[in-house]
Structure 1
């Protein structure tokens, strides 16, 4: 990696490390952990919850639910609605704009190889490097399909950024090289999965949340 690009990545890590951490993050806001009830949306499964910067979790939608088995490419209109709703809710609650940079938050997800495998396999191995030698499937997508999506997101969101110009160029080049070398990976689906296991779990939890 060129020194200038490495310096940009170091800058991202530094800014993310200093970002205010006073928002409650769910930690795993995946389909199946959100319930649509007569009183609105309710979330369950808070075992990964922590305080942090809300933009980290907002970026979760752009980078296709990186800790979840069901990688989903959220359509642009829904992304805009979600991001506008987040910023409006934050402003209403605090009287100020959200602190931090969404481009930093998306870039911060990119090098996390542990977000290419299920939780049981997040053992400190360099899964990001492993994806260069072999592909594997986790849930609805393979590791390389997930990585290609994240590279595309970072390449797009850093366009015109003075702080992340080199990162944007690098991710665009990596994505092009991956597609040249492995032309088979397909884009991630924009549709939320609705498998039998997920429907049954959601149905049980909804009945518990809203008893007769």
Structure 2
């Protein structure tokens, strides 16, 4: 997006919002250009969706999700002020931010997530999480690490996928509900960047708090007390909006994130590669942790959650053995940073 007063913004948007003046470019993913712009003196965020043959689909998806979630009050998303499909440009409400108390952000995050999940879902694509290819690749990883695979593990993992596929398919999922896609305002947290929005099981995103924000560069661990308070707030919010809770057992969702190889790399690098095979050859950094550190954290979480779980006895044995082997093979791996303070974006 060009700098200076002559922005490449169509007459469609100019006619609706007024004359644009660029204030500054903002940090964004490789697949979008984002700027703070004033229209006749009023601040707004201008986002142009770029990169890849699916850019038009991602634009339509985000517009659809913003309009659907915008029906909830208080809204869990930034308001969509204008959109031009010809240029793949969205204009969003500029969200002024505030700073939360040190521990409070997790509760505010969970409340906003519950509001988002109870939004209408018409027109959104179905959830696409871990699949059979992920099961096969994860079990192959165990074999490459010389970890025996219990006979029941493959069937148990397939059953997890079946349960996730059929559970709570009516929820509006953000697709990437990371701390840097959330802004804490005076009215609560509002989400941005909904290109990956889907309709699917709410538990896969509520599990972010336990599994460590798996699709995020800023992957972190949370103290148990913060997780418990946030999950309670999530369920309370759903009930207050007249929606059933998702249940307290997030084991399946965490198992799904553990085996999903795409959760080791940023969004632009997902789909089509066996990241588990690459992991045995080399480690790589992404944000706050390496790929192997992400694996170790997820193995810790799933091993704890599956202990004594009758439907996942083979998975429990497998992840426990893999965790031990990973620690022995790569003894210098660090634990994930502990997010005691607020990791949310400062708004700009």
**Counterparts of 2:189 and 2:157 in 1: how far apart (Å)?**
36
Residue number among 155, 165, 170 corresponding to 2:303 in the alignment: 155
Instruction: Could you tell me which runs of 5 or more consecutive residues in structure 2 were left unpaired when the two chains were aligned.
Output: 1-148
**1:24 alignment counterpart:** 172
Distance 1:203-1:59 versus aligned 2 partners, 3 A rule: closer
C-alpha deviations, 1:104-156, integer Å up to 9, x for none? 11101111111101112114111012112211111111000000000111001
**Aligned residue-pair number:** 200
**Counterparts of 2:162 and 2:247 in 1: how far apart (Å)?**
14
Does residue 167 of the first structure (1) align with residue 298 of the second (2)?
no
**2:194 alignment counterpart:** 46
Does residue 125 of the first structure (1) align with residue 273 of the second (2)?
yes
Does residue 5 of the first structure (1) align with residue 153 of the second (2)?
yes
**Counterparts of 1:77 and 1:193 in 2: how far apart (Å)?**
14
**1:93 alignment counterpart:** 241
The answer to which of 84-93 and 129-138 deviates more is 84-93
Retained in 1: the 8 A contact 2:223–2:340?
no
**1:61 alignment counterpart:** 209
Larger proportion of strand: 2
Q: What secondary structure is seen at the aligned counterpart in 1 of 2:172?
A: strand
Q: CA deviation at 1:168?
A: 1.1
Q: CA deviation at 1:192?
A: 6.8
C-alpha deviations, 1:70-95, integer Å up to 9, x for none? 11112111111111112222233335
Retained in 1: the 8 A contact 2:150–2:317?
no
Q: What secondary structure is seen at the aligned counterpart in 1 of 2:190?
A: strand
Retained in 2: the 8 A contact 1:25–1:51?
yes
Q: What secondary structure is seen at the aligned counterpart in 1 of 2:189?
A: strand
Retained in 1: the 8 A contact 2:173–2:198?
yes
Distance 1:15-1:194 versus aligned 2 partners, 3 A rule: closer
Retained in 2: the 8 A contact 1:154–1:168?
yes
Q: CA deviation at 1:193?
A: 8.5
Q: CA deviation at 1:194?
A: 8.0
C-alpha deviations, 1:22-53, integer Å up to 9, x for none? 11111111122111112221111111111111
Larger Rg: 2
Distance 1:26-1:2 versus aligned 2 partners, 3 A rule: same
Larger proportion of helix: 1
**2:332 alignment counterpart:** 184
Distance 1:18-1:123 versus aligned 2 partners, 3 A rule: closer
Q: CA deviation at 1:5?
A: 1.1
**1:209 alignment counterpart:** none
Q: Give TM-score, length-normalised by structure 1.
A: 0.87
Q: CA deviation at 1:2?
A: 3.0
